[in-house]
Chain A
Amino acid sequence: MSVLPLAASRPAARLSQSASAQKAADTPALRALPKVRRRQRGLMVGVLTLLIAALAAVLATNIYVANAQYEVVQLTNEHRDLAHQNQALAQQVQFLESPQALSNSAVTIGMVMPATAGTFDLSTGEIVSSAERASSSEVPSSFVSTPTAAQPDLAAVEVADPAASAVSGLLGTGALHTLRQPTAGDNGAGTAAGVPRSETGLHGGTIPAPDLTN
């Protein structure tokens, strides 16, 4: 932007241009300009501050969102690991609850098939049929095989280990502790609770690269 001398815009000055050009040009120009500059400087400082503040805010939000994203991924992984552990334990229970498995367990602790049960008629107080003594040779047959898929899953999670290393046994706070901090190495649970998946994957950084693609 080019600033014309004030004198040039005045018709009166134009008329006496040749006579007193220097006198007319000097006085008003010098007084007006510094005022304008001072005002502009303040404005520019303000705008710059605002800009920097806005940038800093955007940066801070961005960093926060990015960090929160890592946290979300980590919590998602933790949730998935725990869900898997829960699933494996539930399966273990289901396999152990199957009739064949129950029958086998019963036989191993020495149980036999029941003989005739005794019955009373409560309204008359009579014995309807008397009970017989069960024979120790009446062991249930085992033609129906136990589920084949049971074996690998039974090995996957050993519920006794985390329970034993818990703070105070299976009940009370110990159970909670076990749930929150699973023993490392069991069913991938060691990756939970904020522990990095693998130190080698950091490439010098402090935040592990999460893989959501799984």
Chain B
Amino acid sequence: MAITLSASDVPSPPLSARLSPPQVWGIVLLVPYLLVFLAFVVYPVGYGLWLARHPSSYVALYNDPIFARAAVNTLIFLVIGINIKMLIALFLSGFFAQQRPWIRWLSVIFILPWAVPSIPTILSVRFMLNPEWGVINQLIFKFTGDDGPNWLNDPAVALAMAIGVHIWKSLPFWTLILLTGRLAIPHDLYEASDVDGANWWQKFRYITWPSMQTLYITCTLLSMIWTLGDFNSVYLLTGGGPADLTHVLSTLGIRYLRLDQLSLAMASIVCAMPFVLPLVYYMMKRLSR
């Protein structure tokens, strides 16, 4: 007690000798963020981990078929959904790299899904897929006279639609990032390869891909981490239904929270950590360089 008092009340010679005025200011200016970090990251995470300490929560999770299903859905979402998205983004970045006035205009429109909030557009898709009044089934009825399928009532189709909504929303962002990478490749490399008579695949294989692969892989990993937190695409489109078969980990955590099973919610998140933390650590190392 006496030591803390003397350090704060009377500036002790060693402290003021070590810290110059700019450094004191440096510490003062860091305080706002540190407060936010302590109050809204450290404390909640610590508290959450403490809630998830009982092995019985994990047993309960293990016995909950919805959790297993959500884990599988999350894997499908990440492994299939993200890779399809990134491949399309890679392809489209080549398309948008073409110098044409109309492609410039298209790129302005193309960014719209990223620029508008996700809620109205997801609800718009949800209405399109409505079995009775949705525009898709209306058109199917008009042209074939048959009733269209009940889209969101089939778990596989519903999950695919949620992935589709996710791709719709975030494809422009990743295409733009990959486009930046593509435009950074020196143009004379392509001119030289033209002289050598390379076809488009050889150009991609030996020029584009080698200079973009690090960026591409980083983007894929980053997109996977972020997609784990994509609550909206699933929750607003399917609500986890039918019969809780289309949950992913992020919506499942919120479902447990709404059912007041907070320890289960935290336990389900802790289960994802062995996969998330290595990715997070890798990305942190990359970006802090």
Partners in one complex: no
Q: Which residues of B contact A (CB under 8 A)?
A: none
> Which A residues fall within an 8 A CB radius of B?
none
